[in-house]
Structure 1
Amino acid sequence: MGDHVPEQPVGSLSDAWRYCVGTGELPLALRRDYQDSLALIQREIGFRHIRGHGLLGDAVGVHRPYEWAGRRDVRHVFTYVDQVVDAYRELGIAPFVELGFMPSTLASGTQTMFWWQGNVTPPSSYTEWADLVLATVRHLVDRYGLDEVRTWPIEVWNEPNLKDFWLDADEAAYHHLYEVTATTIKEIDAGLQVGGPAISPGSDDWMARFAEFCATRDVPVDFVSRHAYSSGPAQHVPFGVHQTLAPAATLLEQFGKPREQLRGTPLAGLPVHITEFNSSYRPDNAIHDTAFHAAYLAPVIARGGEHADSYSYWTFSDMFEEAGVPAALFHGGFGLLTHRQIRKPTFHVYAFMRRLGSAILRQDDDYLVTRDDSGRITVLAWAPVDVTGPVGGIAGHRISLSLPMADASADGAAFLLRSSVSETMGNAWAAWGELGRPASPTARQLDILRETAEPVRRHARLPVVGGRVELDLVLDANEVTLVELSMVADETPQWWDERRLLGGTP
């Protein structure tokens, strides 16, 4: 007899996991491969918002100063903004607006970040910055409607607590930027959502001081945001890095930090958005591509809604150029998908989450049991990983469950469908290695990789006795598996007999 799963729900499954997903620099959204990848993501997972850097950067071209009749003026141009946002909306996803980085034509300095050189200095004119914010947000409202844009969170900057992302990590300068920006947005409409400070791990004291600043100055703030990563210092190799990892539970601890830090402050109770999370903060760490990564993050994705209102996986696709143009198909990118839409094992964790029911019947360190409105039972289970042990994992982890299927007195049968990814199943990264790690796979090799990326499906018919099914799962190394169970309504004709398939007699 396995762990007894009760018939009555113990809670509801949060959908915070699908509220937002990250993306590379916004101009990438103009490319075909990007839009094909996002279309696949939306068909099979269905995120609600998407967040990325560079909305106000030079490559999008919003801030366009000019001189005429002896004076300087600025034209705000939304040619690319419209194309990007229109594409998002056609695919059923809305922006989680990040205001940044600084246009070089408005910047007070020359410090930049990333291969695509996003400027990270304060504005040379806060009046002109306010005009830029006002024009951009007002354009979005005029084009897409106030009711819709009110549902798009607007975040001010990205990781200002890091010197690489904000000149000298100047906290006072960020507070001033936030105040000017938030006040300007609220001038358009009080119902627009604005927040920050979008800090990275390691500067937790920023959150309390941000709350104090907003309260003291009566600065509007509708949500708070931060990021979460669990990797150690980078050990560099050509075209990549390797890093140690902390246990996955540390990510959940980071998700919960803002609520702890804001307790007792005027910002207590505000929504908390984790606007970036992953294991490594590097876009060239091969761990992102592995089955280990899926098993490592499965408990975080399954339970993150207990700690934050949203947690945005960074990112949906390897269309991402912060460290330059990727040197190979599998290069350790952040994405759930590679270029050319190869699904990574972690992609399937999200696809499995979409198929869970809304009622939680039981959850433990290595599984989550749910039920949907039709009575279908779903079990998401994962093999625990050891961040100090072999990345390849150990096969044989066992989970035994006694699951409620129907009325307590009912007997019958249940249909089981099991979908799995592991070191040996649904693991295109492993197949790519067996192919010799081709940097530019041929069309045939891409077909092979897409086929090997599919989860392995198994099915069976299990007896239902007294309204319950006994389920015994043995997990492969680094496996994440989804089990779906539904009652069978048997319509087999009375004359059916498999012994006659080859013309025999019963």
Structure 2
Amino acid sequence: MSSTARPPATAAGTGGERAEAATAPESDPADPRAAGAAARTISRGGGIRVHAGRGQVDVDWDAAPGAAGYLVHRADGDGPYRVVDHRGGDLLAVPGPPYADTTVEPGRTVRYAVRPVYDPDRPDEAPLGRESAPVAARDDGDAVVEVAVDVARAAGPVHRPWRDMIGSEHLSLLLGTDRVGGEPMGAGLAAALSRVHRELGVRRVRAHGILGDDLGVYREEDGRPVHDFSGVDAVLDSLAPTGLRPVLELSFVPRALARDPSRVVTAAGVSSPPRDWDRWARLVGDLVRHLRARVGDAELRRWAVEVWNEPDLECFWTGTGEEYLRMYDVTARAVREACPGLPVGGPATAATKWIEPFLDHVDASGAPLDFLSTHVYGSPPLDLRPALERHGRDGTPLLWTEWGPSPTHFAPVNDSVLSAAFLATGMRAAAGRVDALACWVASDHFEELGRPPALVHGGFGLLSVGNLAKPRFWALWMLEQLGAAELPARITGDGADTLVRAWPSIDPETGRVAVVVWNGTLDQGVLGRPEQRRRLERTVRIRLGGLGRGAYLLRHRRVDDETSNLTATARRLGVDGWPTEEQWRVLRARDTLADASPPVTVTPDDGRLTLSSTLPMPSLSLLELTPR
């Protein structure tokens, strides 16, 4: 997996296994920029507006044309500006305004400035925008947010970026028979993949490390290459019943072909470049031709090929940046020659790195690029459309093939309700501009950094060992219940569109209205600050207009610290490590999205209806109005 072995933090004051330097970024080791790279317009991000609410300061600003994202800087009193660190352990930039700073202490007077980011490798090449007026963070006030929804005005189809792809441990694990938590790992992973396809609508899974030694694809006999794809076939046969198609991540180099076979990533392969590029190209081409003969052109073109995994990190690529670009060219051309209709892309980098150098290179080399892929953790994905436009590649699909609340395995945030609100925020931000936002990963059946030691252990999975839903799964399940058409919403009040967000929708054919509303912050530090979480609780009033005549059945389902939360359920049952047989039975019986209150029948007054609810920090609610 791409996020299991991160180098230590590089910016002072940042947390997690890998935090990108915000004011002194790492540079590309090879800096492979082609001459004549597209010039970028550097605009000052001006017009900064701040508003102090209870427990947070809302920061808003004017967008800078061509920016991929922004770094929010804060100065305490007359002190220096520092990047606000929301402790996501990865890139600190956010895709756009507004932003809620929940890290500032109540009563402290602060100022803000914003730096637009055009190239994530060089966030400092744009100046800070004009600073805001001073503002004092508050500890009181009426924490009310109102959401006004016009049910009679559909705003277009709901875009669901979670549906395209999900991440997974090496799919060779599907063949595994070792038991963890009393369950065979292969069967458990297959059950999880089936569930995300069935309940979340996911169509594809990233086949991480498909060329590793665990599938025995390559050996040499008397100095001659031997290709054996029987292991790949066995994996695909195990995957087929789940309903998911693979996105083939072409890594890692088999030991027999590696330039330095001692550079082991995992037991599955090594991070070294190949010692013979022609033999690597033939291996890739033969694999694609084998799959083409096996499933046919029409099916294969619904798959995709991603070249390598996080080559900007030494733990996954020990060659130079220039050697990765050669790897991309050689691999992409081998794929194109073997099956012209099979999409191929990259660079699959960590923390949105190397995007401009990679695009510069493929512009110059002419290597095929059918989609652009990269990863980020702890923040919503940046907007890479301006980068594609600068390179004349408007409309190229953007696939974020790894994304999640934290790059750290065994991190408590992975199992928290805060991570569920984070997923909803990220999907809302990505809708309409990102083709795939792939959560890492489907299942806690995972072994690259060690197998699960207990039911609740901070694993990357949306689903636990035993296939129980964690809060992040329920967040996506709620979003999947949205109707076909999006509804416009106007959100006002303390924390509107920074803490509290809403995604209203309607099924035009049935008239069912579904609204997902949540209270969340990017600041993962609130997990350890209960008093701050109380400050950030909000009362939400949803005012619906334009409803049809007659009665509706109102159903309200909820995820919060005590509701639909596997961690809390396990704690109440006294689960210590792995559940007993009786505890497993109770856990499975409670594996459902709970009602916050019993369903009731409501009748709008002249098409209008107001629904009120308290949203703790963090929490999510799904409200459905179904005509009776």
For 2:546 and 2:263, locate their aligned partners in 1 and report how far apart those are by CA, in whole Å: 58
Return 313-322 or 397-406, whichever deviates more. Answer: 397-406
Identity %: 32
Aligned match of 2:540 in 383, 386, 399? 399
Give the partner amino acid of 1:341.
N
Give the partner amino acid of 1:387.
Q
Query: Residue 267 of structure 1 corresponds to which residue in structure 2?
Result: 393
Query: Residue 312 of structure 2 corresponds to which residue in structure 1?
Result: 161
1:108 aligns with 2:243: no
For 1:2 and 1:73, locate their aligned partners in 2 and report how far apart those are by CA, in whole Å: 70
C-alpha deviation, 1:475, in angstroms: 2.2
C-alpha deviation, 1:81, in angstroms: 1.3
8 A contact 1:302–1:353 mirrored in 2: no
- Bigger helix share: 1
Query: Residue 474 of structure 1 corresponds to which residue in structure 2?
Result: 614
What pairs up with 1:172-187 in 2 under 5 angstroms? 172-187=322-337
SS of match in other structure, 2:437: strand
1:379 aligns with 2:515: yes
Return 258-267 or 352-361, whichever deviates more. Answer: 258-267
Query: Residue 83 of structure 1 corresponds to which residue in structure 2?
Result: 234
SS of match in other structure, 1:296: helix
For 2:270 and 2:627, locate their aligned partners in 1 and report how far apart those are by CA, in whole Å: 58
What pairs up with 1:245-394 in 2 under 5 angstroms? 250-252=379-381, 254=382, 256=383, 258-363=384-489, 364=491, 365=497, 366-373=501-508, 374-385=510-521, 386-391=523-528, 393-394=533-534
Query: Residue 174 of structure 2 corresponds to which residue in structure 1?
Result: 29
Query: 1:99-139 CA distances to partner (integer Å, 9 max, x unpaired)?
Result: 00111111111354555353001011111101110111111
8 A contact 1:284–1:332 mirrored in 2: yes
Query: 1:145-171 CA distances to partner (integer Å, 9 max, x unpaired)?
Result: 111111212100001111111105x11
For 1:137 and 1:8, locate their aligned partners in 2 and report how far apart those are by CA, in whole Å: 47
8 A contact 1:54–1:60 mirrored in 2: no
C-alpha deviation, 1:37, in angstroms: 1.9
1:133 aligns with 2:284: yes
C-alpha deviation, 1:207, in angstroms: 1.2
SS of match in other structure, 2:478: helix
Return 221-230 or 79-88, whichever deviates more. Answer: 79-88
Query: 1:389-442 CA distances to partner (integer Å, 9 max, x unpaired)?
Result: 3456438522212224644xx3x2110112211111011112223444522221
The size of the alignment, in residue pairs, is: 456
Return 455-464 or 302-311, whichever deviates more. Answer: 302-311
Query: Residue 142 of structure 1 corresponds to which residue in structure 2?
Result: 293
1:4 aligns with 2:148: yes
SS of match in other structure, 1:164: coil
Query: Residue 426 of structure 1 corresponds to which residue in structure 2?
Result: 564
Give the partner amino acid of 1:370.
S
Aligned match of 1:47 in 198, 202, 206? 202
8 A contact 1:17–1:305 mirrored in 2: no
SS of match in other structure, 1:251: coil
Query: Residue 92 of structure 1 corresponds to which residue in structure 2?
Result: 243
Coordinate RMSD, CA, aligned? 2.0
Query: What TM-score comes out, normalization by structure 2 length?
Result: 0.69
For 1:423 and 1:137, locate their aligned partners in 2 and report how far apart those are by CA, in whole Å: 47
Aligned match of 1:74 in 208, 212, 225? 225
Query: Residue 484 of structure 1 corresponds to which residue in structure 2?
Result: 624
Return 221-230 or 9-18, whichever deviates more. Answer: 9-18
8 A contact 1:317–1:338 mirrored in 2: yes
- In the alignment, structure 2 segments of 5+ residues that lack a partner are 1-144, 176-185, 492-496
Aligned match of 1:60 in 215, 219, 229? 215
For 1:198 and 1:81, locate their aligned partners in 2 and report how far apart those are by CA, in whole Å: 22
- Compared CA separation, residues 88 and 347, structure 1 to 2 (3 A): same
Query: Residue 43 of structure 2 corresponds to which residue in structure 1?
Result: none
Give the partner amino acid of 1:449.
L
Aligned match of 2:165 in 12, 15, 20? 20
C-alpha deviation, 1:279, in angstroms: 1.3
8 A contact 1:405–1:487 mirrored in 2: no
C-alpha deviation, 1:465, in angstroms: 1.9
Query: Residue 605 of structure 2 corresponds to which residue in structure 1?
Result: 465
8 A contact 1:381–1:480 mirrored in 2: yes
SS of match in other structure, 2:213: coil
Query: What TM-score comes out, normalization by structure 1 length?
Result: 0.85
For 2:584 and 2:146, locate their aligned partners in 1 and report how far apart those are by CA, in whole Å: 42
